[in-house]
Chain A
Amino acid sequence: MAGRTLYDKLWDAHLVCERDDGSSLLYIDRHIVHEVTSPQAFEGLRIAGRKPWRAASVLATPDHNVPTTSEQRASGVDGIEDQVAKIQVQTLDDNCDEYGITEFKINDDRQGIVHVIGPETGACLPGTTIVCGDSHTSTNGALGALSFGIGTSEVEHVLATQCLAVKKMKNLQVIVTGSLQVGITPKDVILAIIGVIGTAGGTGYAIEFAGSVFESMSMEGRLTVCNMAIEAGARAGMVAVDDITIDYVKGRPYAPADEHWGSAVEQWRDLKSDSDAVFDKVVELDGQDILPQVTWGTSPEMVLPVNGIIPDPQTKTGVERDGIIRALEYMGLKAGQAITDIAVDRIFIGSCTNSRIEDIRAAAAVVSGKTKSATVKEAIVVPGSGVVKLQAEAEGLDKIFIAAGFEWREPGCSMCLAMNADKLEPGEHCASTSNRNFEGRQGYGGRTHLVSPAMAAAAGIVGKFVNVNDL
């Protein structure tokens, strides 16, 4: 028998049955739920008179809609000024209470962005299948898990049956060889990959990130990379289990302990692709070639190294040319302009891509002892969870940001998608550590440039994009 990929192994281990109609039922170990994509699923369950199959498999928290200022957070759900958002958060609380689902409520110290709290608490573990009504569920694959986003109908389906009817994806291996230059972060690596394969390059595939760059990357870095697998079109991204994975998981609140730890680790050691496994497609990059990345357009594939020059649409044809013309118009940029000439109005450091403690530390290291540029209206730092926030405060990082003129906020999705009060005004440019630069994503008419935490921090100091290594 030919060797199996990591994805093949995870698939095989969760296959409940293959039905006559050609579909497969896959068992879901862990289901993470947030307020935006779940109310209609619970409603469907209720209308059909069904109960969750295994409520103990579900972990919930509100994140998308929660305010991030301390004043508004002080009074919990009641502090949410937007009445529509408040009803949604309240509905999650009510549904979790009704069905006996564990929820980290708005002011629980463990509350945070779904994709940050999953790995952080140990609710998401190697070798498991994990779903959530959110496309960035791909994040958890960094643990050596099969983790992907689903729609609301599927949220209801998993609640009711603990399974999903799915079709197997193809295998794509993305290898980054060699080592990274100084100052190059996991965010730069994934943006560079998307620049090469495009936002549809991974469509229909599960991506395994392999090669020496990922082997030596921290778990938080791997989470950042897998987070954006979806921006490369792949529903799932993953990294093989190694000592870094196991060290990361050990001692987390929901991780196996005592007599279970040994047998868990033994099972997890096999979570890697066999040496003779065959991938449907392989893409290889050299880590040495990767420079700090900045997106200039309205799709994550519209990305350049910081020393790059904005492309001329007239050198392209058809739909691609039209796309560049539209993006330049929306972004208020011109062909031939240098990335380092783009002035930024706001800085957002946060989101499920880059709001973990290493991200916060990296940004703090850049701003330490410096001051926010007077031309930058606002720079906000939004930790990914209450746990990250407390850790950062214990290290005094909040003070570094505040001294530099940056704001230190309460955890949530915040300006990543601007469902709460944190948003861009029309025409404003934002250096953002989030994952999507779509039109209007961070606020109506807002202009997003995706960068790493260090690059966002540097832009906040200078007021323009600069190579963080030159600062």
Chain B
Amino acid sequence: MRSFTRHKGIAAPMDRANVDTDLIIPKQFLKSIRRTGFGPNLFDELRYLDKGEPGKDNSGRPLNKDFPLNDARYQGASVLLARENFGCGSSREHAPWALDEYGFRAIIAPSFADIFYNNCFKNGVLPIVLNEAIVEGLFVAMYEQEGYSLTVELDSQQVLTPEGEQHGFEIDHFRKHCLLNGFDEISLTLKESDNIKAYEDDRREAAPWLFTQLS
């Protein structure tokens, strides 16, 4: 996993509630057997005026001028400001893959859907929950000021604004630890192999029917 310690970047808006993972990366792109190549199709149905297809050259496609990520002022943005229940719906990890590849390192919202929230950490993207009033304040400031950028510090668990405000956020200790160090979670778990085997032996004894070969 890629590590995350501190990041400063331009903020861009995704100003609606309940943004689902279908909207983040539409299903036709899920046919890929790779982990990369999704960035150009992030928010495809909002970003372009025509219908995107895998393998299609995106450079000549008509852009939706009203979509903020197409606006010059948000070019190079790496912090996404979003509304409640961001990332709901399908468990597709293609959503954080697409956000990451586009360049987003952190997403700030009043709440996230559980599976999406979890998937972000596996890819070094930091989802940050701040309360609704604070997020609203950040939206207002971002709209007012071109090039508005935010700094995210994982160690101190703070979002810093250009005005010098500091907004603390909660994060689970284990996730923080993995992200700060860029740990490979599978290797960490395999350190517990003896425990897993011991559990498995007990389980096999208690419920042998779960251990037969399916055929």
Asked whether any CB of chain A lies closer than 8 Å to the CB of B134, the reply is: no
Q: B105 within 8 Å of A by Cβ?
A: no
**Residue of B35, B54, B114, B203 ringed by the most chain A CB atoms within 10 A:** B114
A128-136, A331-339, A361-369, A392-400: which lies at the interface? A128-136
How many Å lie between the Cα of A167 and that of B51 in the bound state? 39
A-B contacts, 9 of them at CB < 8 A, read A36-B31, A56-B213, A56-B214, A153-B122, A163-B189, A254-B212, A267-B206, A419-B27, A441-B27
Structural contact, B93 and A84, CB atoms closer than 8 A:
no
Cα–Cα, bound, A76→B53 (Å): 24
B115 touches A441 (CB 8 A): no
Bound-state Cα–Cα, A243 to B50, Å: 53
The reply to whether the CB of A21 lies closer than 8 angstroms to some CB of chain B is yes
Decide: A419 near B31, CB < 8 A? Known: A161-B196, A436-B89.
Answer: yes
Whether B174 lies near A165 (C-beta < 8 A) is: yes
**How far is the CB of B157 from the nearest CB of chain A, in Å?**
15
* Chain A stretch 346-392: residues in CB contact (< 8 A) with chain B: none
Tell which of A37-45, A177-185, A208-216, A279-287 binds the partner.
Answer: A37-45
Given that A123-B214, A200-B84 are known contacts, is A264 also in contact with B207, CB under 8 Å in the complex?
Answer: yes
For the A-B complex with A16-B195, A43-B33, A160-B186 known, give 13 more contacts whose Cβ atoms are closer than 8 Å: A29-B210, A36-B30, A40-B33, A56-B214, A82-B31, A84-B31, A84-B55, A85-B31, A135-B91, A151-B115, A161-B190, A200-B88, A323-B17
B30 A264 Cβ-Cβ under 8 A:
no
Within 8 A of B (CB), among A24-53: 25, 27, 29-30, 36-37, 39-40, 43, 48, 50, 53
Whether, in the assembled complex, B32 has its beta carbon less than 8 Å from a beta carbon of chain A, the answer is yes
Among A197-215, those with CB < 8 Å from B are 199-200, 203-204
Asked whether B45 lies within 8 Å of A439 as measured between CB atoms, the reply is yes
* B188: Cβ under 8 A from any A Cβ: yes
Interface residues of B in 168-215 (CB under 8 A from A): 172-174, 177, 185-186, 188-190, 192, 195-196, 199-200, 203, 206-215
Chain A residues closer than 8 Å to B54, beta-carbon distance:
84
Complex contact B31–A160 (CB within 8 A): no
A418, B89: Cβ atoms closer than 8 Å? no
A154 at the interface (CB under 8 A from B): yes
Q: How many whole Å from A125's CB to the nearest CB in chain B?
A: 7
| A17 contacts the other chain (CB 8 A) | yes
A59 contacts B by Cβ under 8 Å: yes
Report chain B residues within 8 Å CB of A203: 85, 111-114
Contact with A along B111-124 (1 / 0, CB 8 A): 11111001100110
The prevalent SS among residues of A at the interface is loop
A79 lies within 8 A of chain B by Cβ: no
Which residues of chain A are near B122, meaning CB under 8 Å?
A: 151, 153-154
Closest CB-CB distance, B14 to chain A, in whole Å?
Answer: 12
Compute how far the CA of A234 lies from the CA of B85 in the bound complex, rounded to whole angstroms.
Answer: 12
Give per-residue flags for B5-27: 1 if the beta carbon is below 8 A from chain A beta carbons, else 0.
Answer: 00000000001111010110011
B46: shortest Cβ distance to chain A, in Å?
9
List, in ascending order, chain B residues with CB within 8 A of A419's CB: 27-28, 30-31
Given A151-B91, A203-B111, A438-B23, also A65-B209 (CB < 8 A): no
How many angstroms between the C-alpha atoms of A40 and B211 in the bound complex?
Answer: 26
B95 to chain A: closest CB distance in Å?
A: 9
Verify B214–A102 contact, CB threshold 8 A: yes
| Alpha-carbon distance A133/B33, docked complex (angstroms) | 14
Query: Which of A30, A39, A102, A134 is B215 in contact with, Cβ under 8 Å?
Result: A102
Q: Which listed residue, A50, A149, A200, A264, touches B115 by the CB 8 Å rule?
A: A149
Give chain B nearest CB distance to A144 CB in angstroms: 14
CB neighbours of A260 from chain B (8 A): 208-209
Interchain CA distance A97-B173 in the complex, whole Å: 39
Q: Does B92 contact A (CB under 8 A)?
A: yes
CB distance from A137 to the nearest CB of B (A): 8
A305 within 8 A of B: no
Q: Please report the C-alpha to C-alpha distance between residue A21 and residue B27 in the assembled complex, in whole angstroms.
A: 36
Asked if A427 is an interface residue, CB under 8 A from chain B, the answer is no
> Bound complex: CA of A87 vs CA of B91, how far in Å?
21
A200 touches B93 (CB 8 A): no
A162 to B192, CA, bound (A): 11
- A91 interface residue, CB < 8 Å from B? yes
User: Does B166 interact with chain A (Cβ within 8 Å)?
Assistant: no
Q: Which residues of A contact B186 (CB under 8 A)?
A: 48, 50, 156-157, 160-161
Instruction: Check if A165 sits within 8 Å of B189, measured CB to CB.
Output: yes
Known contacts being A151-B115, A157-B189, is A233 close to B31, with CB within 8 Å? Answer: no
Contacts of A322 in B (CB 8 A): 15-16
Task: Decide yes or no: A199 and B18 within 8 Å by CB, A22-B174, A162-B196 being known contacts.
Answer: yes
Indicate if the CB atoms of A84 and B32 lie closer than 8 Å. Answer: yes
CA distance A53 to B199 in the complex (A): 13
Among B112, B188, B212, residue most surrounded by chain A Cβ atoms (within 10 Å): B188
